Amino acid sequence: MLQQLLAAYLFSLCAIPAVNDALKQNCSGPNCVQIAVNQGTVNIENHQLQIAINNGLVNVVGKPEDEIKIQNLQRQIQTHIRKAEALQARQLSDYEKLQSALQYSEQLNKQLTQLNRRLTALAPRDAISRELTQAYQNYDIPRIKTLLQQQQQLDDKQAAATAFELAGFQEADLELSQAYQNYQKAVLLDGNTISYLNHAGLMALQLAKYDEAIDYFHKALTQSNRASDAQQQALIAVANNNLGETYRKLGDYPKALHYFQDALQTDLEIYPPDDPNIALSYSNLATIHDELGNYQKAIDYNLLALQSDIKNFGELHPSVARIRNNLGSVYLSIGDTETAIKYYQDALASDLQSYGSEHPKVALRRNNLGYAYETLGQYHEALIYYQQALDSDLKIFGDAHPRVATRRTNIGAVYEALGAYDKAVAMHQQALDSDLKTYGDSHPNVATDRSNLGNALKGLGEYQKALHEYQQALDINRLKLGENHPSVAKARNNLALVYLSLGDYQKAISELQGALAINVASLGEHHQEAAVNRNNLGYAYKKMGNYEKAMDYYQQALNDYLQTLGEDHPNTASAYNNLGSLYHQLHQYDKAYEYFQRAYHSDLKNFGEQHPNLAMDHNNLAFSCEAQGRYKEALAHYEAALQINTRALGTEHPSTQTVAMNLRLAKIKFSAPGRIIMKLFSDIYWQMGLFLAAMTAWLIIWRANRLRRFRKSMAT
């Protein structure tokens, strides 16, 4: 079936007469390209090349110097044939076979077209060779020099074209480093060709060589400005989009937004409304607005792009998958995780059909699904997707690549959530080592890696090591971003958390107040990052026993979250829990229960019943019920918390073991013998209290009498 589809499609593309049994040459000369149906092999004989492609046969007549180029084409074709046979062996559906065949045939047709152009270009070289022969015979030195210069230019352009074509094949087979070398060679030999510059820049971008990418794209933009009027606008839009994407990768969102807006404006002037180029510009703008927190704008631009690309390409095109992936990311940002997972799964299914399992785009889709499941607290499911993404990217990019570092960081975060801090430390250390090779020791990404490593070390109780990593992260951010950047505030907040763990509350408060001042100045009075600082200040003052200040900061944090995030956000639920905990400590159990209930209902709405946050809420409600003597309710909440943690985190996780201990103690306390013992101890403590009070009163009276007698003796 696959062979028949491929042969039929090749014939429709080339429209050249064919016979069924054997090849009959119907054309001659240096530009002959012929396709016929035939079973055969690859033969090179008298400079005539025959390539059998399943049922299609290509006959190319050209010069001997083209044999190497065509042999490269032969190897690439055979590689794709093996891939097609592998797909068939996996018993893909007829529809999938057709899609694979059509995609391969389209690529082959492009290469045949390029080869035909190559053969056409041989004629000028032949003419120069004939003129050179005559010039040598006539000893015409000036003419010889002129002709040799012309031949050198022609050879350079031809060599550049060959390098560019080879790079395209290497890129398709994910030989990225080799592809980049050949794109660079094409630019070196012919630096005025815009397509060479753009492809070299895009490959540099994919390999995280950002400075080189910017250089190539700026050169492409310069060449675009020199192009003819018909070409100029389109080429300028492409260069602007590429520059915007590079600055986005670098985190310079205002610059990225500027270039993307310029690209969209240009595209709207030269293309019809549903043109794919306009859809691409919409998609790029959506990505930047997502990064900037303008989520509704991001959704609107993505939907415009999605509608256009479905109309142009159909449901299963890679561009449609990319936009669905982007929509998933936006919905994840606004907390609609279920919708995000739906878009991510649709994107993954589409890209698996388009690219197969081992491809960077498929790895990205799996990574995003992992993050969505992590957000839901389904950590084991998240770990599966993250590991698949890491394994794929390791094969494609190697060990020292930013994508691989990101995958390891994500896996480390899941191990932290599961309480496997030693595994988390190993993953974060590998990510740090990788980014140090890529960026050097003073890059913001390295600062982030050190912060992540510090988090895992803090979880292990290695506070001094954590402090060292946090301090280095702070130093990098100060150096690269300045004293008043939000990243500096985040680093100071992390330092404060270690000081809290070490019991150094004054240092913790100093760092938290510094972080709060930065965030208020740079992000605004009620930004959620400022709320995080106020929340942590509340905790610090609670640990110091200053409950009035703790209450004030906790209440401010809650107000900030309500104003910026709304009532049904996980951060708001956390603020409710903190206030509930403080009221519980102050023995105001009714108020504590009220805030714990608010946290529970908020988390339930966001995560569903089986998220670890719900286990914490149940545990807090159990404490409150226990303090109020509502024993049955307390036991029910403890049991619910234990069930959730066991399922989500496993029996060995510290949170699971803590809840299990709470449940055991509660069962003992609430049993009949337990109540008798508690009552007995309660009576004993009451009697001891009366005795101590009486002794204290007697001691005060006795000391007062002694003092009176002493003063009387002194007066005498």
Q: Inform me whether the pLDDT recorded for 490 exceeds 70.
A: yes
Does residue 652 lie in a domain region? yes
How many secondary structure helices (H) and strands (E) does the chain include? 30, 4
Are 527 and 641 part of one and the same domain? no
Closest by CA position to 562, among listed 547, 542, 539, 579? 579
Are 549 and 576 part of one and the same domain? no
Could you give the CA distance from residue 697 to residue 686 in angstroms, rounded to a whole number? 17
| The token pair that represents 271 in the structure block | 């293309």
| Mean pLDDT of all residues in 499-509 | 95
Q: What is the mean pLDDT of the chain?
A: 79
Does residue 605 lie in a domain region? yes
| Mean pLDDT of all residues in 659-669 | 86
CB contact at 8 A, 159 and 182: no
Q: Mapping DSSP to helix (H, G, I), strand (E, B) and coil, where does residue 174 land? A: coil
DSSP annotation of 526: T
| The token pair that represents 400 in the structure block | 């020292």
Could you give the CA distance from residue 538 to residue 528 in angstroms, rounded to a whole number? 15
Could you give the CA distance from residue 239 to residue 222 in angstroms, rounded to a whole number? 9
Q: Inform me whether the pLDDT recorded for 15 exceeds 60.
A: no
CB contact at 8 A, 219 and 197: yes
Does residue 281 lie in a domain region? no
| Mean pLDDT of all residues in 631-637 | 91
Domain with 689, as residue range(s), is: 684-716
DSSP annotation of 66: G
Are 536 and 557 part of one and the same domain? yes
| Mean pLDDT of all residues in 275-289 | 90
What pLDDT is recorded for position 105? 57
How many distinct structural domains can be found in the chain? 4
CB contact at 8 A, 650 and 672: no
In degrees and rounded to multiples of 5, residue 347 shows phi and psi of -65, -40
Are 592 and 557 part of one and the same domain? no
The count of other CB atoms within 10 Å of the CB of residue 577 is: 23
Using one digit for the tens of pLDDT, what is the confidence trace for 505-561? 999 999 999 999 998 988 788 888 899 999 999 999 999 999 999 999 999 999 998
Question: How confident is residue 59, by pLDDT bands cut at 50, 70 and 90?
Answer: very low
Does residue 216 lie in a domain region? no
Torsion of Cα atoms, 140 then 145 then 147 then 150, to 10°: -170
Which of residues 688 and 154 earns the better pLDDT score? Answer: 154
Question: How confident is residue 178, by pLDDT bands cut at 50, 70 and 90?
Answer: confident
Are 115 and 3 part of one and the same domain? yes
Could you give the CA distance from residue 373 to residue 410 in angstroms, rounded to a whole number? 12
Cβ-in-10-Å burial (0-12, 13-18, 19+) of 288 comes to buried
Using one digit for the tens of pLDDT, what is the confidence trace for 200-209? 999 988 887 8
Question: How confident is residue 48, by pLDDT bands cut at 50, 70 and 90?
Answer: very low
Task: Name the H helices within 27-140.
Answer: 67-89, 94-120, 122-137
Could you give the CA distance from residue 344 to residue 363 in angstroms, rounded to a whole number? 12
What pLDDT is recorded for position 412? 97
Cβ-in-10-Å burial (0-12, 13-18, 19+) of 149 comes to exposed
Q: Mapping DSSP to helix (H, G, I), strand (E, B) and coil, where does residue 105 land? A: helix
CB contact at 8 A, 52 and 41: yes
Are 114 and 72 part of one and the same domain? yes
Which of residues 119 and 214 earns the better pLDDT score? Answer: 214
For residue 96, what are the CA distances in angstroms to 87, 135, 182, 287?
9, 60, 32, 31
Domain boundary among 537, 564, 591: 564
| The token pair that represents 386 in the structure block | 């993250």
CB contact at 8 A, 449 and 409: yes
Could you give the CA distance from residue 192 to residue 200 in angstroms, rounded to a whole number? 13
The percentage of residues in the chain with a pLDDT greater than 70, rounded to a whole number, is 72
For residue 336, what are the CA distances in angstroms to 332, 480, 515?
5, 34, 30
Instruction: Give the lowest-confidence range in 490-504, 593-607, 671-685.
Output: 671-685
Cβ-in-10-Å burial (0-12, 13-18, 19+) of 522 comes to middle
Q: Inform me whether the pLDDT recorded for 666 exceeds 80.
A: yes
Using one digit for the tens of pLDDT, what is the confidence trace for 373-425? 998 888 899 999 999 999 999 999 998 899 999 999 999 999 998 888 999 99
Does residue 12 lie in a domain region? yes
Residue recorded with tokens 């090749």: 10
Question: How confident is residue 235, by pLDDT bands cut at 50, 70 and 90?
Answer: confident
Residue recorded with tokens 């895992």: 456
Which of residues 466 and 289 earns the better pLDDT score? Answer: 466
Are 535 and 632 part of one and the same domain? no
Does residue 468 lie in a domain region? no
Are 6 and 114 part of one and the same domain? yes
Does residue 410 lie in a domain region? no
In degrees and rounded to multiples of 5, residue 59 shows phi and psi of -115, 120
Closest by CA position to 118, among listed 162, 151, 77? 162
| Mean pLDDT of all residues in 142-157 | 64
Are 520 and 633 part of one and the same domain? no
Are 666 and 689 part of one and the same domain? no
Beta strands in 288-372 (DSSP E): none
Cβ-in-10-Å burial (0-12, 13-18, 19+) of 639 comes to middle
Are 555 and 615 part of one and the same domain? no
| The token pair that represents 708 in the structure block | 């009176």
Alpha carbons within 13 A on the beta-carbon side of 278: 17
Domain boundary among 533, 564, 595: 564
Using one digit for the tens of pLDDT, what is the confidence trace for 642-651? 999 898 888 8
Domain boundary among 120, 155, 179: 120
What pLDDT is recorded for position 647? 85
Q: Are strands 43-45 and 48-53 parallel, antiparallel or unpaired?
A: antiparallel
Question: How confident is residue 603, by pLDDT bands cut at 50, 70 and 90?
Answer: confident
What pLDDT is recorded for position 709? 54
Could you give the CA distance from residue 650 to residue 700 in angstroms, rounded to a whole number? 57
Are 650 and 714 part of one and the same domain? no
CATH number, domain containing residue 519: 1.25.40.10
Which of residues 320 and 104 earns the better pLDDT score? Answer: 320
In degrees and rounded to multiples of 5, residue 188 shows phi and psi of -65, -40
Does residue 392 lie in a domain region? no
